[in-house]
Structure 1
Amino acid sequence: MCSGQPSFWPCITALRSRLAGAELTRFNALATCVEAACGTNPTEMCASSHCYEEVTSCHPICALATSCGFSTCTGMSCAASFNRCGMLVSGAEATRFAAVRTCLERVCGASLDPSCVQSPSTEAACAAEISTCGLMAMPGDGGVPPADVPLPSDAPAMCAAGQSLCGGACVSLLSSAAHCGVCNAACPAMTACVSGTCVGTGTCSAPQTQCGSSCVSLQTNPAHCGSCNHACTTGQTCVNGSCVGTGDLRFTLTWDRPGDVDLHVTPPCGMNIFYRQANMLICGGTLDRDDTTGLGPENVFFGATAQRGEYLLCVIPYRIDGPTTATLRVFQGAVLRQSFTRMFASSMMVDECSRSSPYFVGAYTY
């Protein structure tokens, strides 16, 4: 049993209990240097260019007045070279070491009072110090500062100095419009968070537009769709600044380069719904939006009479002047159920939609 155990001994013990094999060997190399009480046995030695420690007796096999660093015996005493043994690790092991190194060596400043945070996996990390060691790089991790080494996904969240944890995200309470001064204190429209206080600016931040006393998106706001005060009617939503029908089932197509991209939907009845039947009721569905020059949308929606079965979906680059990526989204009510994305290089003026068509993107079962 070792004597003179430091205050962070529970962290060392908890971490060691979760390691095995090669990881335990490398961790013991680190522990040899940190646990100065174990560094006085005259039988200590560097074996096979690595430091070893017997877990049960706490007797490291390092030569007296010698330490293992950079994979060789350095001639430094274990007690005086707390940052040497960790240089043996690399890759994934370096990630683990970087997370625990700060907590074990206390290298990041005596002014902090670190607490050792244990995660359900094999790693431990120092909550107060891990984010303040930006200059403490080591050869074993390829020069990556411990502050930049990702922690295990199950470790408690920690934020860098000057940031606070709000709803699972690290933010600055001095400048975050959603968390100004304290978490969840959002600044109202036409204000900005300055030094933790909401300050009026008189303007809306892009891409929002001022409508009355509110900042809104003219692309998605159904009360200001395309322009201020242009409201969509009941049963409609706003997509790319255009009001489109919703119903129980909706197919909405948009694309990323101005042009004419056509949506074709073939419901279970077998009839093809596309621009030639715009605003006509076909098998319970209607194409209520056809765009020939912009970014969409094209939209086909079905009310409560939508047929049960399989809907065939085609996207045709009717007239484009360059590579265009189109996205077709399928909604049931307000819930997005599926999306299809396809990239097109050139135009094709066809009106057919079937499984054998090169422009068939998929099928949706309702």
Structure 2
Amino acid sequence: MMYEQRYIFEIQNFQKIYHIISESLVVGSGEFGISVTWSRPGDGDIVVTTPSRKSIYYGNKGPSVATDQGQLDHDDTRNTGPENIFWNVTAPTGVYHICFQQYSFSVPSNVTNPITATFQIRRPNAVTQTLTKTFVNGDRIVPNTCNSTMFTYVGSVNYL
């Protein structure tokens, strides 16, 4: 389950009081999870394809049979993430393919203004694994599936 934490700070400066609201997103967690953040504001999307070739993404959030009970708990359309997919039940074993879609950015990625996607993979009793890919062509590719032949592909993880 995802929720926002809000903190309100008061700063007194020259007899004025400023209220600063700081927000942090707390994402869902479970036995197995994959999160992504990206380097500049816009609508980036995580897509994970399960070992049985079921895709989890903004249009198929789960949890359901169609997502192998995995679920996307937050679709960030304006900032730098995170987007998070997790299983709060036992996840199917096998290879998961992980992709990042550049859905909508005010300036498409290019050589001088790339977008870097950083993924964190969390597994029980294991060190968090990090995968990173920098995108330099602004193609808006949204196949909403993922495999190792796609431009959107970042990596794969074997969940045992």
Q: Settle same-fold status: TM greater than 0.5.
A: yes
1:244 to 27, 42, 48: 27
Q: Counterpart of 1:50?
A: none
1:296 to 71, 81, 87: 81
In the TM superposition, 1:94-109 aligns within 5 A as: none
Moved over 3 A (4+): 333-336
Contact 1:246/1:302, CA 8 A, preserved across alignment: yes
Change (3 A) 1:292 1:225: closer
Contact 2:120/2:131, CA 8 A, preserved across alignment: yes
Q: Counterpart of 1:130?
A: none
* 2:157 maps to 1:364: yes
| 1:315 Cα deviation after fit | 1.1
- In structure 2, the gaps of 5 or more residues are 9-22, 108-112
Whichever residue aligns with residue 304 of structure 1, its letter is: V
The structure with the largest strand share of the pair is 2
Q: Give the TM-score, by structure 2 length.
A: 0.74
Change (3 A) 1:277 1:251: same
Q: Give the TM-score, by structure 1 length.
A: 0.34
| 1:243 Cα deviation after fit | 2.0
Give the SS at the match of 2:128. strand
Q: Counterpart of 1:310?
A: 95
1:274 to 53, 57, 82: 57
Q: Percent identity?
A: 33
- In structure 1, the gaps of 5 or more residues are 1-223, 230-239
CA distance in 1, matches of 2:125, 2:5: 20
Q: Counterpart of 1:328?
A: 119
2:41 to 235, 258, 275: 258
CA distance in 1, matches of 2:72, 2:141: 19
Whichever residue aligns with residue 350 of structure 1, its letter is: V
CA distance in 2, matches of 1:302, 1:334: 15
CA distance in 2, matches of 1:315, 1:347: 12
CA distance in 2, matches of 1:261, 1:283: 23
Q: Counterpart of 1:185?
A: none
Contact 2:36/2:84, CA 8 A, preserved across alignment: yes
Higher relative contact order (CA 8 A, sep 6+): 2
In the TM superposition, 1:23-38 aligns within 5 A as: none
CA distance in 1, matches of 2:127, 2:36: 13
CA distance in 1, matches of 2:94, 2:141: 28
Give the number of equivalent residue pairs. Answer: 133
Q: Counterpart of 1:227?
A: 6
Deviations 1:200-257 (A, max 9, x none): xxxxxxxxxxxxxxxxxxxxxxxx954129xxxxxxxxxx811211100000000120
Q: Counterpart of 2:14?
A: none
Contact 2:63/2:69, CA 8 A, preserved across alignment: no
Give the SS at the match of 1:284. coil
| 1:272 Cα deviation after fit | 0.9
Contact 1:263/1:298, CA 8 A, preserved across alignment: yes
Contact 2:62/2:69, CA 8 A, preserved across alignment: no
Change (3 A) 1:314 1:293: same
